[in-house]
Structure 1
Amino acid sequence: MLLREIKNIFHTELDSLYPKEEVDSFFYMLIEDQLKLERFILAMEPNLIISKEEETPLFDALSGLKLQEPIQHIIGKTHFMNMEFKVNKDVLIPRPETEELVRWIIEVVQSTKFEVRSGNTLRILDIGTGSGCIAISLTKHLNTEVYAIDISEEALKVAEENAKLNEVDITFLKEDILDLGQLEVKFDIIVSNPPYVRELEKKKILKNVLEHEPDLALFVSDDNPLVFYKVITEFASKNLKENGQLFFEINQYLGKETKQLLRDHNFSEIELRKDMFGNERMLKGTLIKNIK
């Protein structure tokens, strides 16, 4: 079959579900991943014919896309901070907003605003690591000793694979965020992108997220939406070095409330930052004095 005919079939089947530009993107991602063809191949060879064997994975992917399965799950990977990460149903697909959070941490560490006062290697803890995208990216871009925890054994397996794929060493630990004890080491930075989507906000979540990404990493109850932030902030107040920093990705509707949590636990220089879409999505605070 002509490759351009398959592209037309993609549009016929999918244009009612996705924007046309996104359908184009799906098609080009698939031919690059499955057939190792560049996206401009049809401009160069408009009458390119592919074999029946080559067609099969494209039509299998089309079936998944019609069910609104994420393209990242179909090809089994995604890109984050210019690196490749394996993803599946056990981990959240890394978002652009999270990349902004990582870049903010790198910016702060590389600026004169942050110093490693112990004179040792910078030590970072990533709480709720999922795919490992935050921990791995920070390890790759900074001279750091990184610990990463998650309650999900399946997620940790994915994160460990991604660490090997990107050739970094990270200490992964299976821990319940809501039952964290005091660790033997202190940290210069603690970062977390915990569950923060309230049940009342489910109606705003796209079907491809609701049905294909882990609820455990997404949702919290309406009556206690900051449960993870409360526990993590308390933990950070005891496990950060003095003048250590806490970074959060947050619910855009609860910025004021999350900011107050940091104030209540001896954090200063608190900064709430908007993401590329203009939503209050990132929060940073500096611990001015450890609680004994």
Structure 2
Amino acid sequence: MLNFEELKFFLNEKADQYNNANFIENDPVQIPHRFSLQQDIEIAGFLSATISWGNRKSIINSAEKMLDIMGNSPYDFVLNHSLKDLEFIQDKSIHRTFNGEDFAYFIRQFNRIYKENESLEDLFKVKDSETNFLHAIERFRNSFLEKGKHRSHKHVSSPYKNSSSKRIVMFLRWMVRKDKRGVDFGIWKNTDQKYLSIPLDVHTGNISRKLGLISRTQNDWKTVEELDHIIRQFDGKDPAKYDYALFGLGVTKELL
């Protein structure tokens, strides 16, 4: 097992290796990269992140299907769609359990939110006393979802229910993280990246355990915070850069 300094050096090296423009080509982050308007980036990014489970190629194909339906102008579509547009979407198959009904629901919520806010950043504000996005994600969830049960609620996971909220955490990395590598956008100027966590799934969880970064066996929010604790000792100002290291190690199977 590597000691603290060796581990830090190793992970910094791997983060540096994988955090570059080549990463974009095979990753769902390529979808929001097709836009320059902030609101287009946010909507395309949030929708792509929401369906990010399973094979990356099929995620990208499904995200492209949503872009096509929105005429490749997400923000314009969100603000100006007709009832007929939503009826057309309802019966579409989109991505696994995320169907046309869910897509239409998301469009409706975006429409309401963008009428009141310039950016989704307004709904993810972290308060001074907080150390990560736990409460901010829950506040966003409460703003985004309508009161009363709806099938689409399952697609916006809740850290209060101990979900790792992997897809939202990944979306936040895209929007908040600032560097000059070209993968993350860093367009949310009022949000500090020190609050970011690692998007935790089966792969990043397994690699983290192999490296001795976490001991918990579940991939849940408590484990996200366990991982937070150690990666912030490596780099307290930019902890989420280690997502590249863990992801890269997972893809290359270097540690197997």
TM-score bracket for this pair, using the shorter chain length: under 0.3
Q: TM-score, normalised by structure 2?
A: 0.25
Q: TM-score, normalised by structure 1?
A: 0.23
Structure with the higher helix share, 1 or 2: 2
Indicate the structure whose relative CO is greater, using CA pairs within 8 Å and at least 6 residues apart.
2
